[in-house]
Amino acid sequence: MFTDNPYERFDFLEWWGTLSPTFLSVTVIAFVFLLAAVYYLLPKRHRWVSLLAGSAVFYCLAGIRPLVTVLLSAFVVYCAGLLLETTDKAFKKRRRLILWSAAGILLLVLAYGKLYTLLDLKFGYIIPLGISYYTFSAIGYLADVYWGKEKAEWNYCKLALFLLFFPKILQGPIARHRTLAAQLNEGHDFAYRDFCFGLQLAVWGYFKKMVIADRIAIFTGTVCSDYSKYGGIFLLITFSLSVVQLYCDFSGCMDIAGGIAQMFGIRLEKNFDHPFFSKSAAEFWRRWHVTLGTWFKDYVYMPITINPTLLRLSGRISKRWGRRAGRIFLTVIPLSAVWILTGVWHGTGLSYVVWGVYWGALIILSSVLTPEIKKLNERLHIDVTKKGWQMFQMVRTFLLFCIGRVITVPGDLAATGRILKKMAMDLRPWQLTDGTLYMQGLDWKEFVLLLMMIGVLWFVEIQQIKGSLRERIAGWNMAVRCAFYAWSVVFILIFGIYGIGYDISSFVYMQY
């Protein structure tokens, strides 16, 4: 592309092919600031056009053909929405056919995107970026129009912007049309406070991703390349770090996405709510990937729960075996469907189905056995309000998540079984003191730095629970505040994982 020959022409296409649609790219960061300048310079009523154009350009970094697939999908959603809006509600079968036909087309494209590598299908290059996220947003929009919860969008370009909006396309959140579309379309005046808060949130996301997640990835990647070398305690530490890695990677991207959106005056839905302070599996999943959970609740769980056939069956069971049996039936069926689908959403293969069953079983059992658990606590004289017990519950929830990682990370249930067996019967505690710990890509200095940064993460999350940390920082003296921002950026530049030969590490949830 670049040579010493001053007369050689610049090859734009070759240069474009070196770019990547990730927030870790310097080019993309520069693009965001340029787009923000264009956005605020345009007349207010036309600002949404710059967002659409910018989102299309960002998407083209993954290729032109995937963008065509998304635009065609958007056209299907657009036509179906108008048909649902204009078809009289008296024609229930016709409206259902429209809804299921459009949803079926979207789900077929999604299924192709999930299975093309597994089944060695052709045309993988047409698979859109963020296919799961925009598909679920689109189906939710159509369902809301079908139920009459909102009006159909009559402007195709505005609907395309809702689906394509670039901060959320990589890893979500799974946006709702009724909460995001108006923000995208109305145009926002420049607000210094929003712009600064957006930058703060993005910098915090970069810290979690580049300083913590990518540093842990070096360690876990080395260990996971050959599990047989390590004992159970070492593997438990590895998978515990893997949980932190996943959290910092995924929530880091959410913070960057939310921060970029806020720079434009737009609020994305919250996708994480301090999940590692959860005291149960059910609470954890109300705090982790919040928009996925609420999507399944609104568009899978509730429709199944209020299904007339299921309600009739529940009534028969109640008459024969009692009310509690009927309630259990109404709990088990919808939750089983939700968690099997959640497993399939996260990945292909039996491991992800088992992962879904694992979490579904935990949540169903905790719900069904609530009276028995309460009685057991009373008999054992456990004061559930004590901080010590609540801390135990948090640690227990964290370990349950670790087991979930053991199910999916190896990609093979036989390997999962061997790892769990090692954790139970082959501990090898000496590997923590014989130097093995510092031979997995991180020397002792890097490992100590990692633990310190996890401590910073823990401290900041505690402060966030106590109140808005950004509001407190905003109250600092301006000179102190600017120095803190500059120091934060420099810290990430110094301690972030990159450099010569560095290959930008994609965000984990981009594969979904």
Segment 449-499, tens digit of pLDDT: 999 999 999 999 998 888 777 778 877 888 888 888 888 888 888 888 864
Strand, coil or helix: 9: coil
User: What is the C-alpha radius of gyration for the chain, rounded to an integer number of angstroms?
Assistant: 25
- Yes or no: say if 133 and 345 are a contact pair by the CB < 8 Å rule: no
- Yes or no: say if 109 and 131 are a contact pair by the CB < 8 Å rule: yes
pLDDT at position 501 is 39
pLDDT band at 500 (very low <50, low <70, confident <90, very high): very low
Structure tokens at 8: 């050689």
Phi, psi at residue 272, to the nearest 5°?
Answer: -140, 140
What DSSP element (H or E) covers 92? helix 92-115
Buried b (16+ CB within 10 A) or exposed e, 470-483: eeeeeeeeeeeeee
Residue 66: cis peptide before it, omega within 30 degrees of 0: no
Q: Write down the number of H helices and E strands in the chain.
A: 24, 0
Strand, coil or helix: 232: helix
Phi, psi at residue 288, to the nearest 5°?
Answer: -105, 130
DSSP-assigned beta bridge partners for residue 288:
272
pLDDT surpasses 60 at 502: no
Region 222-237: mean pLDDT is: 89
Q: Which of 108, 154, 272, 120 is nearest to 205 (CA)?
A: 272
Compute the distance between CA of residue 161 and CA of residue 405 in angstroms, rounded to an integer: 35
Compute the distance between CA of residue 79 and CA of residue 100 in angstroms, rounded to an integer: 13
DSSP-assigned beta bridge partners for residue 272:
288
pLDDT at position 146 is 94
pLDDT surpasses 90 at 106: yes
Q: Which of 306, 288, 400 is nearest to 342 (CA)?
A: 288
Which sequence spans correspond to the domains of the chain? 18-190, 200-511
pLDDT surpasses 50 at 505: no
pLDDT band at 380 (very low <50, low <70, confident <90, very high): confident
Q: Which CB contacts under 8 angstroms, 24+ apart, belong to 489-498?
A: 489/203, 491/207, 491/211, 492/203, 492/206, 492/207, 492/210, 492/211, 495/211, 495/449, 495/453, 496/206, 496/210, 496/211, 496/214, 497/210, 497/211, 497/214, 497/215, 497/217, 497/218, 498/210, 498/214
pLDDT at position 11 is 55
| pTM of the entire predicted model | 0.90
- Sign for the CA dihedral angle at 44, 49, 51, 57 comes to negative
pLDDT at position 121 is 63
- Yes or no: say if 78 and 153 are a contact pair by the CB < 8 Å rule: yes
pLDDT at position 390 is 92
